[in-house]
Amino acid sequence: MKLLRYGALGAEKPGLLDNAGLLRDLSGHVDDITGDTLDDVTLAKLRALDPADLPIVEGEQRIGACVGNIGKFLCIGLNYSDHAAETGAAIPKHPILFFKANSAIVGPYDDVVMPRGSTHTDWEVELGVVIGKEAKYVSKEDALDYVAGYCIVNDVSERHFQNNLTGQWTKGKSCDTFGPTGPWLVTRDEVGDPQNLNMTCDVNGKRMQTGTTSTMIFTVAEIIEHLSQLFTLHPGDVITTGTPPGVGMGIKPEPIYLKKGDVMDLTIEGLGHQRQNVDQDA
C-alpha cells in the first residue's frame, strides 16, 4: 500500500496511490497520514478498502511529505562502508546519530533552497524508515514489526556548516528544505526485505550515486534496536539510514557541490522517485 499526502503546504490531505497509478482520496477514512494513523489496526482497515471505491483526485497536485506531524527526524551517519571510505572516515562501532530539524521537511518535488552564502551543499539519497508503534527496548529480531513503512529521504547537507561551524552535524543538516521526504510511504508488507533495495541519485541527469541497502553497516533492525535502548521511538518518527557512495564531497580530485539551477533525481526500488530543483536564498 502506497500512502501519500497531497495539497498545499500545511494543508495536505491523505491519499492512496492505486495499482494503476491513480491518486485516490482517503479523507473519508483518516484525517491525515500521521503517527496517529500508522498503527497496524488502522493500516489493516485502509488495506481492506477497495481503491476503486475511493474518489479519484483530479488535476495536478503538489505532493507533500508522506508523513505529517513527524515527531523525531532521526538520522544515521556513515552507515555504508563504501561511503565511509570515500569520506576518509573510520567504520563506526555504533550507529552515528544526529537529528535533522523538522523545519527542514518538505515534499519530494519541492525546491531545495540553499541558505545564504552556501557553497558546499550536497546530496544524499537515503532509505527512510517510518515508525508505526511505540518502540522501547526492542530486539533486532522483533524490530521490523515496529515499522509502518518506508520512503525516500534526500538528506541534503551543507558540508561547510556541518564540518566547520563547530558542534554537531545538525548545523549542516537542518537548513530549511533540506529534508525532502516521500513521495509515498510504502507499507512494510509491500516492501519486504529493506536490506535489498537498489538506490540512485542523479544530478543534472548524471548518475552520481548507485548503491544498495545491502551494504549498510547497521541494518534497519539493528538501528531500531540500538535507538530504542536509548529513548522511546514513537509512531510517526522517521529514521533516515545513511547514504551510499557518490556524494559531492567525496568526488576526486575536487569535490562538486550543488549550485542554483541544478536538478536532483532520486530513486529507491519500489519507493518511487523524487526530483528537486535547487535555488538559493538571496
Rounded Cα distance between 68 and 161, Å, is 27
Is the CB of residue 184 less than 8 Å from the CB of residue 21? no
Q: Give the per-residue pLDDT at 89.
A: 75
pTM greater than 0.75 (yes/no): yes
Q: Where are the alpha helices (DSSP H) in 79-230?
A: 81-87, 159-164, 170-173, 188-191, 220-230
pLDDT digits (tens, 9 = 90+) for 2-39: 999 999 999 999 999 999 999 999 999 999 999 999 99
Q: Assign 159 to helix, strand or coil.
A: helix
User: What is the model's pLDDT at position 54?
Assistant: 98
Q: What is the pLDDT of residue 134?
A: 98
| pLDDT tens string 38-55 | 999 999 999 999 999 999
140 band by pLDDT with thresholds 50, 70 and 90: very high
Domain definitions of the chain by residue range: 2-53, 73-280
Grid coordinates given for 214: 545491502
One-character DSSP codes across 39-98: SHHHHHHHHTS-GGGSPB--S---B--SSSS-S-EEEEES-BHHHHHHHTPPPPSS-EEE
- What's 73-280's CATH class? alpha beta
Q: pLDDT tens digit string along 205-225?
A: 999 999 999 999 999 999 999
- CA distances 84 to 80, 217, 242, Å, are 6, 10, 10
Dihedral sign computed on CA atoms, order 106, 112, 118, 119: positive
**Tens digits of per-residue pLDDT, 164-208?**
888 788 899 999 999 999 999 999 999 999 999 999 999 999 999
Q: For residues 142 and 135, give the distance between their C-alpha atoms in angstroms, rounded to a whole number.
A: 10
The per-residue pLDDT of the chain, averaged, comes to: 96
Backbone Cα Rg of the chain: 18
What DSSP string runs through 247-277? -GGG-SSS-----TT-EEEEEETTTEEEEEE
User: Pseudo-torsion of CA 248, 169, 152, 243, nearest 10°?
Assistant: 50
Q: What is the pLDDT of residue 200?
A: 98
**Does the pLDDT value for residue 83 go beyond 80?**
no
What's the confidence (pLDDT) of residue 165? 87
pLDDT tens digits along 252-273? 899 999 999 999 999 999 999 9
